[in-house]
Chains A and B, each alone.
Chain A
Amino acid sequence: MDLFLQYLANGVVIGSTYVLVAVGLTLIFGILGVVNFAHGEFYMIGGYAGIFAITVLGLPVLPAVAVVLATAAVVGIAAEAILHKPMKNRDATSSIISSFGLAVALQNATLIVMGPQPQRLNLDVSKIPVLSSLPTDFGPVFLPQQRTLIPLTMVLLIAILYVVLRYTWTGRSLRAMAQHATVARLCGVRVERVAVVTFMVGAALAGIAGMLMSSIFLVYPIVGNMIALKAFTVVILGGMGNVAGAAAAGLLLGITESLTSGYIANSMRDIVGFVFVILVLLFRPQGLFGKAVDRS
């Protein structure tokens, strides 16, 4: 039982990063209809930006987060200009091909600039006020503080996102776009602005995830591949465009993977996710948490 709880906790930690990456992905899809295969690279760039801010510039954590967010904003603007603006009125495959090309280009540009060696962010938890006072033992479950930080940040960011989407004008515009782009435009929603904001939010969430994860894991040029694949799995399980669904599915996938490592074999964990997604696509294409509506 103790072991089960530990596996569960491990799953929640890794699942939280899936949530952060997948929510941005599902937002971009739900609002703009863009399938962004370069989303894993947003994560990778966030990781490198974090390392640059803390290791090279020597900034404390909060200013470093600001650097990551600023980088993400630039990335978001650029990605929108490449993946969305010229692709309006095109079929879905155009943005798939374009974003795949962008992903390949970003990975290889990073490989040339940063080199292939993995990097790690040295985040000294004992210097971060709230975090250093967190416990590491929760009953039978043990979690180091860096790990606890990940689900906490996830909950915080998702809560902020929820509030913004719910109660601000920008959030309302975003939701209006997701429901019906043409009507939203008629009601005075500035579509171009919404598109840029959506990409910036997506890049920011993935970038923060990348920064957090590079403190317990590593970042390297092709790290985004697996993350993007996981995020897509989550987005499909949660129902394309469904933010709450992505959050639930992200945690679910993390926990499933963790339990697979614990009770079956670690070598099976990626395959389990894929099989899961193929089954869901075959039998419940609207996702585990989606409503069955046919959209033409």
Chain B
Amino acid sequence: MAALSRRHMLSILGASVAAPAIVRAQSSEPLKIGGMLPLSGPASIEGRQIILGLQFAVEEINAKGGVFGRRIELVMEDDESNSTKGVTAVRRLIEREKVPFIVGTYATGVAAAASKVSAEYKIPMLSGGSTGALATDQNTPGDPWFFRSWPDSNAQGEDTAKAIVEKFKKTKVAIIHDNTNYGVTLAEQVTRVVGTAGGSIVSRDSYNAGEQDFSSMLTKLRTQRPEAVYIGGWAGDGANILRQAAEIGLRAQFVGSGSMLSDDFIRLAGPASEGFAVASLYEASTPNPVGKAFGERFRAKHNQDANTFSSLGFDSTTIALEAMRRAGKPDGAEIQKVLKSGMKDFPIVQGPAGTTASFNAKGSVDFPNFIAVIKDGKRRLDI
């Protein structure tokens, strides 16, 4: 009885909230698309940056009149980086909201579990930040249902490692990384490739994401005299490490993961960020004209630089919307067909100039990472 009346109350509440939307919908019914990200829980820091890219893409397309003359409505689900929630969210988006595609999600494990379900419904998913190879490797080659509009983590690790050894000419490399999926995968790949490219690893250590005091770890690192130090992890921790390394006078070429290329990072690390280098899929001063234009529009709206997270969210969303337009109807299976081969001319904001959404057989897009270096408090690609 109690449950019944609660449900009753909720439905009344829901109706009163939804009422204005219904009135508007009579003129032209909005077309719903799905988004799924961790908005609470451990990965919400990233999720809340990625969502800006999704929302920005939807706002822009609506300003241009939407798709098929219909306004686009983004329906967001919070998966909490939890597979159980993720699978439920996918079913909800597909069955209740009838979305033709889903942009999501961030955690690779969740993306892998959720995309298995969405494939059963013949609804394509486009990664909302998941970079791990696992999610695309489980696709049937030639018939992927999970798409990622950038290379997997192995490629970023590889490009970074090559930059350390070949561009910066450093051979004694120390690796530090956080214990998240992101940091661990990158660190493993960098470790492997530095070895094959002719460098050597002098030490490897890890920290918990959010740890504050790195002074003793860095003091120890200093005694091993590395020529380069690779940091795999989140921007806040990376900035902390850089500052504390500068304090104790640890001099080496610092190289970081793609997460560490934002205005926030430079602000947090201060002068210690001079000379810091990073492999990145996107940054606001990209030579890619499409990306640069996106960065300027984003900055005008949000008064902050677009970064890797917002750009990938933007790309996944615009690619899917364009694929839907080309398919001619909001139908998952048709959109997947277009994504597989019909998007090779569509420019994206990530990657170097001329990068397009040409997905390979496994559902991934291949392009080289940038190596950006911070100079005079600004990120530069030409050093």
A and B touch in their complex, CB below 8 angstroms = yes
Chain A interface residue bracket vs B: 35 or more
Query: What distance in Å separates the Cβ of B179 from its nearest Cβ neighbour in chain A?
Result: 7
**CB-CB nearest in chain B for A230:** B212
A293 close to chain B: CB less than 8 A: no
**CB-CB nearest in chain A for B243:** A216
Q: Do A218 and B268 touch across chains, with their CB atoms under 8 A apart?
A: yes
User: In whole angstroms, what is the CA distance A288 to B247 when docked?
Assistant: 34
- Report if A144-B247 is in contact (Cβ < 8 Å); known contacts: A218-B268, A267-B205: yes
Q: Do A142 and B205 touch across chains, with their CB atoms under 8 A apart?
A: no
B220 close to chain A: CB less than 8 A: yes
Stretch from B40-48, B164-172, B360-368, B374-382 forming part of the interface with A? B40-48
Q: Do A262 and B216 touch across chains, with their CB atoms under 8 A apart?
A: yes
Q: Do A218 and B239 touch across chains, with their CB atoms under 8 A apart?
A: yes
Q: Do A213 and B212 touch across chains, with their CB atoms under 8 A apart?
A: yes
User: In whole angstroms, what is the CA distance A120 to B223 when docked?
Assistant: 29
A126 close to chain B: CB less than 8 A: no
Contact of A217 among B213, B235, B249 (CB under 8 A): B213
User: In whole angstroms, what is the CA distance A137 to B40 when docked?
Assistant: 44
A117 close to chain B: CB less than 8 A: yes
Q: Do A218 and B264 touch across chains, with their CB atoms under 8 A apart?
A: no
User: In whole angstroms, what is the CA distance A111 to B210 when docked?
Assistant: 15
B236 close to chain A: CB less than 8 A: yes
Q: What number of A-B contacts does a CB cutoff of 8 Å give?
A: 89
Q: Do B247 and A217 touch across chains, with their CB atoms under 8 A apart?
A: no
A223 close to chain B: CB less than 8 A: yes
Residues of A within 8 A of B211 (CB): 226, 270
Residues of A within 8 A of B48 (CB): 115-116
Q: For chain B residues 48-89, which have a beta carbon within 8 Å of chain A?
A: 48-49
Q: Do A116 and B44 touch across chains, with their CB atoms under 8 A apart?
A: yes
Contact of B208 among A6, A118, A270 (CB under 8 A): A270
Residues of B within 8 A of A3 (CB): 219-220, 223
Contact of A10 among B45, B216, B264, B268 (CB under 8 A): B216
Query: What distance in Å separates the Cβ of B217 from its nearest Cβ neighbour in chain A?
Result: 4
Q: Do B213 and A14 touch across chains, with their CB atoms under 8 A apart?
A: yes
Query: What distance in Å separates the Cβ of A41 from its nearest Cβ neighbour in chain B?
Result: 15
- Report if A10-B213 is in contact (Cβ < 8 Å); known contacts: A117-B45, A262-B219: yes
Pairs A-B, 7 closest by C-beta atoms = A116-B45, A261-B216, A118-B236, A266-B217, A217-B212, A267-B206, A10-B215
A-B contacts, 25 of them at CB < 8 A, read A3-B220, A6-B219, A10-B213, A14-B215, A108-B40, A115-B48, A117-B264, A118-B235, A118-B239, A118-B264, A144-B247, A213-B212, A218-B212, A218-B239, A218-B240, A220-B210, A220-B236, A226-B208, A257-B213, A263-B220, A266-B205, A266-B206, A266-B217, A267-B179, A267-B206
Instruction: Identify the A interface with B (CB < 8 A).
Output: 3, 6-7, 10-11, 13-14, 108, 111, 115-118, 120, 142, 144, 147, 213, 216-218, 220, 222-223, 225-226, 257-259, 261-263, 265-267, 270
